[in-house]
Structure 1
Amino acid sequence: MDGSQVEIIWGGDVNLGRRQHFRAVELGFENVIRIPRLREADLRIFNLECVVALAGEQGSPKGEGGPFYFRARPDMLRLLELAECNIVTTANNHSGDYGPDAIAEQKMWLDSVGIGSVGSGETQEEAFRPIVRRVGNSRIAVFSVDATQPLFAASATRPGNAFLPLKDPDAWTKVFVPRIASVRSVADHVLVAVHWGANGEEVPGAAEVKVGHRLIDAGADAVLGTSAHKLQGIEVYRGRPIIHDAGDLLFDRVSQSLEPSGIFALRLGAGGVNSVEFVPVGAGYGFCKQLEGAEATAATRAYAEKCAKFGTTLAVTPEGHGLVEVRPDARTAIKPSALPVGCTTDRVPPDAEIEPLRLGPLRLLGIRLNPRRMTERQMLWVESFWDAAERPDADYRIGFLAEPVIKGAMPAWGRSMDHDPCDWRVPTSGWSPGTIYRDFYGLRPPPISQLKNVELQLSVMLLGPEGKVARHRLPHFTLLILQSKSAAAFSSEAPHGT
């Protein structure tokens, strides 16, 4: 392999919990993952199908009649260290088994041993954030997303996993087109790991195939699948590999025989993935081993039949491995245009709609102000929705102030906080009429010594290269009631915030 290429290995499901605790002791930790080929790669990625944490207890709702709960003690990470694992994907139907606190704790333990993780987070945005690693002269970005357990999905306020439903392929396009385009600014290659499909499936369903295609169309160089606990074939779509399922790599299933498994070595060059090598592995009771000789050849020939169902030729090498050569097609322009996530929307939320207000070349279409009542010094959050009445000829800044309804009662919230829209990410010179743009920005309060119990009214400003273009008061109010302060000025009418 020349210096311009790197090799990434994808392994399947790894469960460090349950019986694996004592099996690792019985076998010896160094005898659990017996795959010499792992050490030849530049980067190794596994799907961690358990939660490594001491927090929480069984009983997290899973919507299943007899759910499984997989927990591993932190010392079990020694198995991943011995396998030289670099990254684990965590968006799956077991990382949330012991609740949100355990998800957060797991990341702490992984960080402590230098293993990167992706697919879970304190918020939905964090869960969908890729991990980027430099390998030689290349930078590799990895996403992880689950399609099997919606109850573990992260939200704006709840920790959890990156989750998207298989039944909505358009959602995958909408989520991944901008994210992949954005990470391309810092990464040479983009891989998307997906936990999808039903247990025991020998071949992927139509929905999985369709979503796999959408991910390649969105800009992924390869799709790395798990979930079925069964090896599924490699599909080549637009010259890019979709490994539908890598099967179980390490599981504590009690069995006297070896379950067919494997690892997948992806060789990446300037154009993307150039080849995929299948290395046959046998997954036993709490251990796995690389197959050799006639046993390897037989296993690879069986796997070649699974690949053939997708029209993919897997050549058997002299050492009994499989090889798929691929030629990625040229990327075409990706549409829709890759604006940062959260900066545009299809419509203004009904509770934010206002009569459109023209400010220079822009129109303010909607406002949300939170909170509407404050009992302590805190930020005021303004979510606003805009479009361009005409194509802007310059970069305009927007600004909001929350001012006392009685002039001079105290300074305003949000002074000197005008900004390019979308929190500095989308200057108006790049706006197009017909697109709705969203801005979310906090207004900083005055010093606590200057605060008074008073009603505040929101106003909006537009500033251009020559200064202020327009300013309007808005019918949006908030009420400040500090228990340590005496009542100050309210408007002559009842406060709007009550």
Structure 2
Amino acid sequence: MVHRLGFTGDVMLGRRVDDRQRHRDVDAVWGTVLDRLHALDGLVINLECVLSTRGRKWRRTNRPFHFRADPGWAVPALERAGVDVCALANNHVLDYEEAALRDTLDHLDAAGIARAGAGETIDEALDPAATSIGDLDIAVVSVTDNTPEFAADEESPGTARIEVDVDDPDTRRLVRDALSRARETNPDLLVASLHWGPNMVTEPPKSFREFGRWLIEEGVDVIHGHSAHVFQGIEVYDGAPIVYDAGDFVDDYAVDDRLRNDRGFLFELSVTSDGAPTELRLHPTEIDDCAIHEAAPEAAAWSRERMRERSAEFGTTFDRDGEALVLSLGG
């Protein structure tokens, strides 16, 4: 049996998205993509905001942006989309300090949405999100190199933060700890979800490439990268896909006319019951009116061309099926 798992870039439900959703149907944020999301067997996202009406804006260090969504609509919206896993190791989970982070953890737990990458302590932040998609057991570990002041420790809540450096002993220790915990759940598929690097960068640096390949060597089956707000190229290493950056999926951000951070993809991974990835499909999307939509033909063509260009340096080539790009992984 083949399972189809969806992966998205940043899902930011705060600010104007939150404002718009208070006056429209709970499904509206998923636009014309909702049917495609419902057709998936599972869905993994990077949740780029907190789910709370509490807390105060983080002012201990300079933070220009603060993202918070009302859980009254946001949690049902995540449920309606079929979200199974939220990666939380990112630079916004403490935007409204500890109270809002704790609310986020509680709301996801109450909804039965698995989470990883943030918690009351570093111990909790390193725990995997473990869930079953039919007869496929998956585990997701979530780490970030963003925002040192948000890092959890033995006594304080926050993120599972690392330096993206395969030679850093603390990084190797923390990541191997997280991977070991994930393997204890005996998953068929092990995913590393990485919120790494600066904004608006179209190519991963050498250190990220080395780190992604090291993770595959350590037993990870899929790399789910995000943070840049624009999609980057895809590499296949030892049969495993490395999505260096999935870009943005839902937000209210200003659009760069050249980089087009409003354009991206829903990444659909086909996986056999024994955990072997066989194919990755890239469905073009675009953000409009604080919602995600199937990309119009011109936008879809632009995204396909950019993805081919950005993946070429990795020797990655795609087939075409309708509007989608298709990458065969064997398996």
Matched with 1:291 is 295
Matched with 2:212 is 212
- Aligned equivalent of 1:7, options 4, 11, 19: 4
Cα RMSD between the aligned structures?
Answer: 2.2
Matched with 1:88 is 86
| Mapped contact 1:60–1:98 kept (Cα < 8 A) | no
CA distance in 2, matches of 1:71, 1:169: 36
Higher relative contact order (CA 8 A, sep 6+): 2
Report the CA distance between 1:118 and its aligned residue. Answer: 1.4
Matched with 1:39 is 38
CA distance in 1, matches of 2:144, 2:113: 20
Change (3 A) 1:172 1:59: closer
**Is the counterpart of residue 278 in structure 1 residue 282 in structure 2?**
yes
CA deviation string 1:13-50 (max 9, x = no partner): 01111111222245543222121221121111111111
Q: Please give the residue correspondences for 1:214-233 in structure 2 after superposition, counting only pairs within 5 Å.
A: 214-233=214-233
CA distance in 1, matches of 2:144, 2:124: 14
Matched with 1:117 is 115
**Is the counterpart of residue 67 in structure 1 residue 76 in structure 2?**
no
Matched with 1:193 is 193
Q: Please give the residue correspondences for 1:386-401 in structure 2 after superposition, counting only pairs within 5 Å.
A: none
- Gapped runs of 5+ residues in structure 2? none
Matched with 2:327 is 324
Q: How many residues align?
A: 322
| Mapped contact 2:264–2:284 kept (Cα < 8 A) | yes
Report the CA distance between 1:178 and its aligned residue. Answer: 4.8
Change (3 A) 1:121 1:89: same
CA distance in 1, matches of 2:239, 2:256: 39
Report the CA distance between 1:125 and its aligned residue. Answer: 1.1
* AA aligned opposite 2:329: V
CA distance in 1, matches of 2:8, 2:319: 20
Identity %: 31
CA deviation string 1:100-131 (max 9, x = no partner): 23211111112233322211111111101001
* AA aligned opposite 2:118: S
CA distance in 1, matches of 2:28, 2:210: 39
* AA aligned opposite 1:129: D
Matched with 2:57 is 58
TM-score (norm 1): 0.61
CA deviation string 1:263-302 (max 9, x = no partner): 1111122353221111110022411101265653443233
Report the CA distance between 1:179 and its aligned residue. Answer: 3.9
CA distance in 1, matches of 2:304, 2:23: 30
Change (3 A) 1:169 1:301: same
Which structure is higher in strand share? 1
CA distance in 2, matches of 1:101, 1:203: 36
Change (3 A) 1:26 1:6: same
* AA aligned opposite 1:323: V
* AA aligned opposite 1:326: L
| Mapped contact 2:46–2:88 kept (Cα < 8 A) | yes
What secondary structure does 1:57 align onto? coil
| Mapped contact 1:268–1:275 kept (Cα < 8 A) | yes
CA deviation string 1:441-495 (max 9, x = no partner): xxxxxxxxxxxxxxxxxxxxxxxxxxxxxxxxxxxxxxxxxxxxxxxxxxxxxxx
What secondary structure does 1:231 align onto? coil
CA distance in 2, matches of 1:227, 1:169: 22
TM-score (norm 2): 0.90
CA distance in 1, matches of 2:256, 2:200: 19
What secondary structure does 1:241 align onto? strand
What secondary structure does 1:311 align onto? coil
Matched with 1:49 is 48
CA distance in 2, matches of 1:183, 1:15: 26
Change (3 A) 1:93 1:169: farther
For the pair shown, which has the larger CA radius of gyration, 1 or 2?
1
* AA aligned opposite 1:133: T
| Mapped contact 1:313–1:324 kept (Cα < 8 A) | yes
Which structure is higher in helix share? 2
Matched with 1:438 is none
**Is the counterpart of residue 262 in structure 1 residue 260 in structure 2?**
no
CA deviation string 1:135-161 (max 9, x = no partner): 122210011111111111111111111
What secondary structure does 1:91 align onto? coil
What secondary structure does 1:78 align onto? helix
